[in-house]
Amino acid sequence: MSEVLLFSAGLDSFPAWHFLGRPPAVYFDLGHRYAAQERHAITALAEVCGIEVAISEELRLGRWEAPDAIIPMRNVHLAMLAVNRADVVWCVGVKGDATLDKSPLAFEDMSSFISRLSGRPVRVDSPFWDMTKTQIISWYLDEGLPVEHLLLTFSCSRTDGDPTHCGTCSSCLRRWISLANNGITAPFEAPPWQWSRVQDYYVPAMREGRYPAHRAEEFFTALATIEPASTPHRRKGIR
- Please spell the DSSP secondary structure of 24-37, one letter per residue: -EEEE----TTHHH
Comparing 104 with 239, the larger pLDDT belongs to 104
Please choose, from the candidates 96, 91, 179, the residue with its C-alpha nearest in 3D space to the C-alpha of residue 140. Answer: 179
pLDDT at position 234 over 60? no
Higher pLDDT, 67 or 217: 217
Q: How confident is the model at residue 237 (pLDDT cuts 50, 70, 90)?
A: very low
CB crowding 142-180: b at 16 or more within 10 Å, else e: eeeeebebbebbbbbbbeeeeeebbbbbbbbbbbbbbbb
Domain ranges of the chain: 3-125, 134-223
Does the pTM surpass 0.95? The reply is no
**For the ranges 24-33, 162-171, 192-201, 213-222, which has the lowest average pLDDT?**
24-33
Mean pLDDT of 161-174: 95
* pLDDT digit string, tens, across residues 197-215: 999 999 999 999 999 999 9
Indicate if the pLDDT at residue 233 is higher than 80.
no
Task: Give the sheet arrangement for strand 25-28, strand by strand.
Answer: 53-56, 25-28, 3-6, 88-90, 123-125
Tens digit of pLDDT for each residue in 61-84?
Answer: 655 455 655 656 788 889 988 999
At 58 the pLDDT is: 82
Give the pLDDT score at 68: 57
- Annotation: CATH topology of 3-125: Rossmann fold (3.40.50)
For residues 91-103, give the mean pLDDT: 90
Task: Give me the percent of the chain exceeding a pLDDT of 70.
Answer: 89
Q: Kindly report, residue by residue over 127-159, the tens digit of the pLDDT.
A: 999 999 999 999 999 999 999 999 999 999 888
pLDDT at 59: 77
